[in-house]
Amino acid sequence: MSNVFAKFDKEFDVKGLREDLKNISTGDTEYKEVPLGTYEVKIEKLELAESKSGKPMVSCWMRILEGEYKNSILFMNQVIHTPYGLHMANEFLRSLESCIEVEFESFTQYHNMLLNIHEAIDETYEYAVEYGETKKGFKTFKIVEVFEVE
């Protein structure tokens, strides 16, 4: 059995994490809210989760790759218990160009499809995402360009 924790120690900046943790504990760290705009991102996480209200939700984490907000994360959370919510999630998923058919049959199937999409795009594609807001204040995420990772 391999030691996953030793792997984590090698893979992640442990010293940097300790320093950041000290700064957070003392309140010295300043997190900037990401303003609306277009950002180059990679999809770090794509899964079916449960919302605070107990409803099924697509959760997508997009890490910003360039510019002043590099390494910040945009969080897309789309509840999918209504036809409209499912439609919005499906349109976003299709825009990722994973070559996996996006359809809803059941929540179990949808969860597995999300994992398959993430596996297909991880380390393969990056995206230009237009981060916006509706008139009612809901955040919007629109893929405007797809880049192959070189």
> pLDDT band at residue 14, thresholds of 50, 70 and 90?
confident
Tens-digit pLDDT profile for residues 47-82 = 999 999 999 999 999 999 999 999 999 999 999 999
Q: How large is the average pLDDT for residues 94-123?
A: 96
Same domain, 25 and 43: no
CA nearest 90: which of 63, 117, 53, 108?
117
- Torsion sign over Cα 37, 142, 42, 54: positive
pLDDT at 1: 45
Same domain, 36 and 25: no
Residue 101 DSSP class: -
Whole-angstrom CA distances from 88 to 2, 4, 12, 78 are: 41, 37, 34, 8
Same domain, 51 and 81: yes
Residue 94 DSSP class: H
Over the chain, what is the mean pLDDT? Answer: 90
Same domain, 25 and 78: no
Same domain, 108 and 143: yes
Considering only residues 135 and 15, tell me which one the structure prediction assigns the higher pLDDT: 135
pTM score, two decimals?
0.78
pLDDT at 31: 64
Place of tokens 């070189």: 150
How many Å apart are CA 101 and CA 103, to the nearest integer? 6
Same domain, 9 and 66: no
Same domain, 51 and 124: yes
Reply yes or no on whether the pLDDT at 39 is more than 60.
yes
Same domain, 96 and 25: no
Domain enclosing residue 6, as ranges: 1-30
Same domain, 116 and 102: yes
3-state secondary structure of 49: strand
Same domain, 26 and 37: no
Same domain, 136 and 120: yes
Same domain, 89 and 19: no
Q: How many domains does the chain divide into?
A: 2
